[in-house]
Chains A and B, each alone.
Chain A
């Protein structure tokens, strides 16, 4: 396995681990799919459409998001936002992430 190949695969695994947390973090207020993708990309976390849009539906099925169609005005859009369970999970995952991030910072600084 070449260096670039190994880097690509391992980086993808790292990104997979944070996609859910990144998505939940941007749904405190209602957003529709394309808007959410732009918001994530603007903050440096570009997620492919083919990954993000299905993820929103999965999180909704898991009972973490609520959604509703807005058909007023221009093109119809389905807006997603955190529900009570989603907010609780976001809080827990944020704490967990911060703990891991802190530990990783220390580990990487030692190196």
Chain B
């Protein structure tokens, strides 16, 4: 390979990354400029241009991909300001998906090393590799948000928000209260749902499927009833006041955490329903509610700021 081959190779590597309509013209100019620069270098150092010298010169010129990128306006898919948020959301989401996958595949009995390897292989193929949809969705989401901000900067202007405001206003809180009452209604007697929906004419198997076990009613059922009922005065207080206070927030978080603990106790302690299918379904729902509640509290904790001087930063 002589110096000309080296230059041709470099120019092609740059030009191939450019839009087709500019490619040849840029390549023509770039080749001429590189030749001139190389000749000048050879004269100033008293050497003859050879392949080694060309490689050295072009390595200093920059990676073809970098040089080609400089020919075009910079393209940003995710705003640098969103970089950490994107990374955090990616990692949290992936850990969650992988963790749930682990729970699913390692719930089965593992009696030997081979069983373990088989479960690991299934987890790898069915949970880990397909989980890459999550970063993909985030790239599209963050990219779309960046694009909207660039197209309509006025939509992204910062606006103050009161920390004690009710999300969705009083209407949302009233709907939440109605949800709690429905939850209590179902908790007391889930078969009432069948009466309401089917006017008492549902199949006997459906009634059987929604029968609580005595153990659940005695242990977690009564506890969950108390915890859910305690939400009613709390929500009425917030609706009347029109905002959250420090105390009501603390009570809400405390009740939420206790409810999560009670739900997990119900999941782990034994069957909730007599029928296996409805038991599995309700336990999955309880796990899902707990996970979303804990994520919500985690986000609130992450977003909490208490201005205070850093003692290490004192001088």
Cα–Cα, bound, A76→B27 (Å): 12
Cα–Cα, bound, A106→B23 (Å): 47
Known: A34-B33, A49-B61, A50-B66. A76 touches B71 (CB 8 A): no
Docked-complex contact A78 and B29, CB < 8 angstroms:
yes
Residues in chain B near residue A55, CB distance under 8 A? 70
B30 at interface, CB cutoff 8 A: yes
Q: Of B35, B37, B40, B70, which is within 8 A of A54 by CB?
A: B70
Cα–Cα, bound, A111→B249 (Å): 50
Q: Of A33, A34, A54, A78, which is within 8 A of B71 by CB?
A: A54
B73 at interface, CB cutoff 8 A: yes
B62 at interface, CB cutoff 8 A: yes
Cα–Cα, bound, A41→B249 (Å): 65
Known: A34-B37, A58-B71, A58-B73. A53 touches B62 (CB 8 A): no
Q: Encode A12-47 as 1/0 by CB contact (under 8 A) with B.
A: 000000000000000000001110000000000000
Residues in chain A near residue B295, CB distance under 8 A? none
Cα–Cα, bound, A34→B60 (Å): 16
Cα–Cα, bound, A1→B290 (Å): 43
Cα–Cα, bound, A43→B97 (Å): 59
A109 at interface, CB cutoff 8 A: no
Q: Of A34, A48, A57, A58, which is within 8 A of B61 by CB?
A: A48
B53 at interface, CB cutoff 8 A: no
Docked-complex contact A77 and B32, CB < 8 angstroms:
yes
Cα–Cα, bound, A25→B68 (Å): 24
Interface residues of B in 23-50 (CB under 8 A from A): 26, 28-30, 32-37, 40
Interface range on chain B (Cβ under 8 Å from partner): 20 to 34
Docked-complex contact B70 and A51, CB < 8 angstroms:
yes
Q: Of A48, A53, A61, which is within 8 A of B29 by CB?
A: A53
Residues in chain B near residue A58, CB distance under 8 A? 70-73
Known: A54-B71, A57-B71, A75-B36. A33 touches B66 (CB 8 A): no
Docked-complex contact A75 and B32, CB < 8 angstroms:
yes
Most buried by B among A48, A53, A61, A76: A53
Residues in chain A near residue B36, CB distance under 8 A? 34, 75
Cα–Cα, bound, A66→B73 (Å): 18
Report the minimal beta-carbon distance from B69 to chain A, rounded to whole angstroms.
8
B67 at interface, CB cutoff 8 A: yes
Docked-complex contact A54 and B29, CB < 8 angstroms:
no
Known: A48-B61, A50-B67, A51-B70. A57 touches B26 (CB 8 A): yes
Across the interface, name the chain B residue whose C-beta is closest to A54: B70
Across the interface, name the chain B residue whose C-beta is closest to A33: B33
Cα–Cα, bound, A76→B30 (Å): 11
Residues in chain A near residue B34, CB distance under 8 A? 49
Across the interface, name the chain B residue whose C-beta is closest to A34: B36
Interface residues of B in 56-111 (CB under 8 A from A): 60-62, 66-68, 70-73
Q: List 24 A-B contacts (CB under 8 A).
A: A33-B33, A34-B37, A34-B40, A48-B60, A48-B61, A48-B62, A50-B62, A50-B67, A50-B70, A51-B62, A53-B29, A53-B30, A53-B33, A54-B67, A54-B70, A54-B71, A57-B22, A58-B72, A75-B32, A75-B35, A75-B36, A76-B28, A76-B32, A77-B32
The 4 closest A-B pairs by CB, nearest first: A50-B62, A54-B70, A54-B71, A50-B61
Taking Cβ atoms with an 8 Å cutoff, the residues of B that contact A are: 22, 26, 28-30, 32-37, 40, 60-62, 66-68, 70-73
Taking Cβ atoms with an 8 Å cutoff, the residues of A that contact B are: 32-34, 48-51, 53-55, 57-58, 61, 75-78
